[in-house]
Structure 1
Amino acid sequence: MKMKFGLVLSVLAFALGLATTSARAADIVGTWRLQSWIEEETESKVVHNVFGEHPLGFITFTADKRVAVIFVDPTRKAPAAPKATDAEATELYRTMVAYAGSYSVEGDKLTNKVEVAWNQAWNGTNQVRFFDLKDDRLTVRTQAFMSPFLNKQIVSTLVFERLK
């Protein structure tokens, strides 16, 4: 009898865990506007506002587990002509982030599986994040990684607001 009861409790706990994970995954579905993005150097603890105080950007999570991201520096300058010069193209590349792929959620762990990215080095990688959701505010924190902007090991914290 104790063994059956233990088995039932185990199955129930597992099912509740799946339900919680599914509920959290369902809770992030939608489009979110970037409110802030900071990178903290892991060694020196110096903090950077990557694209300034008011970065522009969106992240979209779909119900079928797809993700698309674009962030840009609001001070970006348009090229002088339809075809950017090499210097203009370099500056445009360095003032954006864009990628798309699939995602999975396990508790507060969010894994973006990058299929296409502005930075070729990210293609085929898993970008692991941890998130907290309160009402219409989504806070995402990365694991420590090498920043493509600073070339230093950092942890990023991004805050989003749900679009309505």
Structure 2
Amino acid sequence: MSDIEARPLFGWWKILSFQVELEDTGERADTYGVDPLGHIVIERDRMMSILTSRERLSNDPAALFETMIAYSGLCRVEDEDRLIIKVDTAWHPAWIGTEQVRFFNVDRGVLAMTTAWQIHPSFPGRLARGVLMAQRNNV
């Protein structure tokens, strides 16, 4: 895909919501709260993202780790609706070196992004996907 075609995805995005959707029931859970904090930055061949729960009041390192996600890496757009990130830095070392696939749609300054269906550690044995909504942030 050319830079011009991918351009609607480029820029700074303020995360509005993040939910885990269960495939078997369609039920959604606000795993980082109903009003999470975070941003996504996507430029030509690189992206970075940080997402945290607004209610991070604990000083317990394990609790803090479980209420955030952050990663960055080289990225590319394929098939007009897939962002593929080759992770080089992450809050969780297991992500480093992996390719994370995100399906996206940009409509009137709103980014809708989902992960592929996968077994989610918080919902053992059930397929789930992440569903994120973000608003273009004009910085």
**Fold in common (TM above 0.5):** yes
| AA in 2 matched with 1:72 | T
Which residue of 97, 100, 103 corresponds with 2:69? Answer: 97
- Separation in structure 2 between the aligned mates of residue 148 and residue 92 of structure 1, nearest angstrom: 17
Asked which structure has the greater CA Rg, the reply is: 1
Work out the percentage of aligned pairs sharing the same amino acid: 30
Q: Between Structure 1 and Structure 2, which shows a larger proportion of strand residues?
A: 2
| AA in 1 matched with 2:16 | Q
Give me the TM-score of the superposition, normalised by structure 1. 0.76
Give me the TM-score of the superposition, normalised by structure 2. 0.89
Q: Does 1:34 align with 2:15?
A: yes
Gaps of 5+ in 1: 1-17, 80-87
- Separation in structure 1 between the aligned mates of residue 118 and residue 67 of structure 2, nearest angstrom: 19
- Separation in structure 2 between the aligned mates of residue 113 and residue 146 of structure 1, nearest angstrom: 20
Taking only aligned residues, the RMSD between alpha carbons, in angstroms, comes to: 1.6
| AA in 1 matched with 2:98 | T
Gaps of 5+ in 2: none
- Separation in structure 1 between the aligned mates of residue 25 and residue 134 of structure 2, nearest angstrom: 26
- The 10-residue stretch of structure 1 (127-136 or 66-75) with the greater mean CA deviation from structure 2: 127-136
Report how many residues are paired. 136
- Secondary structure (helix, strand or coil) at the match of 2:6 reads helix
* Aligned match of 2:130: 156
Q: Between Structure 1 and Structure 2, which shows a larger proportion of helix residues?
A: 1
Q: Does 1:118 align with 2:88?
A: no
